[in-house]
Structure formats: structure tokens, C-alpha cells
Amino acid sequence: MNLKEIRSKIDFLDSRILRLLNERMELGLMAKKFKPKIEDNEREKALLDRIRSNSTVLINAGFMEKLYVEIINQSKNLQQKDYQLISFQGEHGAYGEVASREWNSDFITVPCSEFGRVFDGVKSGLYDFGIVPVENTLGGVVGQVNELLIKTDLYVVGAVEIPINLCLLALPGTDHREIHAVYSHPQALAQARHFLARNRLEPVPYYDTAGAAKMLMEERPKASAAIASKLSSELYDLEIIKEDIQDLDRNVTRFLVLSSEESKGEGDKCSIIFSTEHKAGTLFKVLEVFAKGDINLTRIESVPDEPGDYAFFLDFMGSNKDDNILKALEEVENITTKFRLMGCYKERRVA
């Protein structure tokens, strides 16, 4: 091993230490939700005792104690601030995190392994908000999320559309001519199918786009790259070999922002979910209400609910403080079997 290789390993470990510290601070903010007060002297003493007992030949107990006192103090300082947490599915760097930063850059983003954990965390109060994708211009509806929306009593308090710009990422110093395998989520691989075929790159499915970038940085497989966001390249110290490798120019995903409380501000877009009787013309009657009210529909989607039944998602322009909208909603509720106004909110479109 030469000096260059040693320094490369040190840089890798430093990056990993920083990410772990960031994760520890996130957990500290989450712990605040369940603690009666920030100070917990017994907990701190037990932690420092454990640190002292785990000292090594190279790292003495005094150094470790000073280091962890600083870490504990920083965590407590963060807990004293009024940060709000927003959860997304995937690893840091996922497009859900990109969308949450676009919606509100002041929120602290927290990754979840599954969409269900996003919903459960918001409902339990662990997170203040959750952000989930509902549809993509190329991939269509996100079935799992829409199925969860049928069952939840959470409110939609915002929406954001972001362009999905896929980037080919590699370890620093990689010669692009040596890349043979590309890791990413199956949907991202499908959206860059022509690019991969044109460059004779083998697609390798992975559970998450950002997860693929993280794996590339940590495991460093030879002759490999990942397809992920530009944010992932920044977080995992990867080089962007090529940007915008998606096959079609218009690749947009729409995300909904969820909360356990209704939006307090006045929105300009509403989302409802409803079911109808199994009779001819029942869906038409619902749509006719909006047509007569000159209300612009922006989305209608059907999702399987109970066996043999379907739930309908419908988005439209307007505010639930407008008399015309309220009248239409009352009519729709009267002619449907299940009805819920999921929320009235502002929607942001990112160019």
C-alpha cells in the first residue's frame, strides 16, 4: 500500500465518520420527540462510562471522553432549536430528499427504508411531515404509495413536482471507458435503457438510486458506476460522468407532502379520495359535478381497494374556502359511498 492509497482510505473513512455523525444528530432530534426534557444526566454518564471502558491502545480514554462530550453538547444544542423533521423513502440523496429540499429547505430530512415507515412515522408524531411520490411521467402511478393513501387519515398539505435528472456516477478518478456495470433502482435503469444499451453498460438492479451511490462509495466494486441524483454525487463524493442520461426529456415526478394536521394556509389545489356504487354512470355523475361548477380537474386515478372495489383519487384547482368548491364537494359526498377531502394546499413546480 502506497501513500496515495493510504490517503484515499483516510478520505473514505472521514466521509463515513461525517455521515455517521449526521445520522447520530438526526436520531437525537427524533429522540427529542419522546423525552420530557433535553437534559438526561444519567444517560450521559452511562454513555461516557461506556466510552471510557472501550478505549484502545491508539485512542485513550481522555481523548474519547472529550470527543463525546462535544458530540453530546452539539446534539443537545440541536435539540434546543425548533427544527421540523420531514421523512422520505430511500437513502440520503434519494429524489424524495431532493423534493423535500425544494418544498422547504429549512426542514431536516430523515430517510426511511419503506414508504409505510414514512406514513407510520408521521402518524405517530416521530416526523412532522412525510413526502412520498405519487406519479411519474414515465413510470406512471406509484402503486404502493397510492394504496397507503387509501388507508391513511393523514392530510396532504403540499405538493411538489421535480424533474428527475439521472446522473451516471463513478468513484473519483474512474476512467469511463472501464465501466461495465451500472447499479440503480429498476425504474431508473428502465428510464436510461437506451443510454445503457448505446454504451454497452450492464444494468444491475438495486433497491434505491441513492442506495446504489452509497454502495458504490462504500464497497467500491471494480468497473462499476451508479445512476442517481446530483445530490447523491455530493453526499457520497462521487464524480458525475454524465448528466441527464434519461431517454426522454420530460421525466417528472410529483410528490405529496403529508401531515397529521390540515394545512393552516389557504391552498389553490385540492385532493379527494372517494368510492362509488357499482352502477353504470356513477363516476360520470361525480365528474359532472365538477364540470357544471367549471372546476378544472388535474388528475383522476383509480386504485384497487377492497376485493372488487376501486378507490378514485381526484385532484382539482381551487380552494376549500371557496363557496363554489364547497358546494361541489358537498354534492360529491352525497353521491359517493366513501369520501374524504385529503387536503387543500399549494403546489410547487420546479423547472
What's the pLDDT score for residue 281?
81
Burial zone of 197 (CB within 10 Å; 0-12 exposed, 13-18 middle, 19+ buried): exposed
Query: Fold for domain 3-80?
Result: Chorismate Mutase Domain, subunit A (1.20.59)
What's the pLDDT score for residue 278? Answer: 78
CATH of domain 167-242: 3.40.190.10
pLDDT at 161 over 80: yes
Is 167-242 the same fold as 85-163+252-349?
Answer: yes
pTM for this one? 0.92
Average pLDDT over residues 239-253: 93
User: What is the domain partition of the chain in residue ranges?
Assistant: 3-80, 85-163+252-349, 167-242
Determine how many CB atoms are found less than 10 A away from the CB of residue 91: 24
Contacts of 134 (CB under 8 A, 6+ apart): 141, 142, 145, 146, 149, 254, 255, 256
Q: For residues 17 and 9, give the distance between their C-alpha atoms in angstroms, rounded to a whole number.
A: 12
49 has a pLDDT exceeding 70: yes
Is pLDDT above 90 for 177? yes
In CATH terms, the fold of domain 85-163+252-349 is D-Maltodextrin-Binding Protein; domain 2 (3.40.190)
Average pLDDT of the chain is: 93
Share of the chain above pLDDT 70, in %: 99
Compute the average pLDDT of residues 266-294.
90
Sole residue written with cell 478520505: 11
Reported as a single tens digit per residue, the pLDDT across 53-98 is 887 778 888 898 999 999 999 999 999 998 999 999 999 999 999 9
The reported pLDDT for the residue numbered 305 is 77
**What pLDDT does 351 receive?**
82
Asked whether the beta carbons of 129 and 84 are under 8 A apart, the reply is yes
CA distances from 50 to 46, 55, 57, 65 (A): 6, 9, 16, 10
Residue 310: what pLDDT?
A: 84
pLDDT digits (tens, 9 = 90+) for 95-133: 999 999 999 999 999 999 999 999 999 999 999 999 999
| Residue with more model confidence, 35 or 234 | 234
Q: What is the pLDDT of residue 308?
A: 67
pLDDT attached to residue 320: 86
| 110 within 8 A of 85, measured Cβ to Cβ | yes
* pLDDT, average across residues 279-291: 89
Amino acid in position 9: K
Active-site annotation, residues: 253, 255
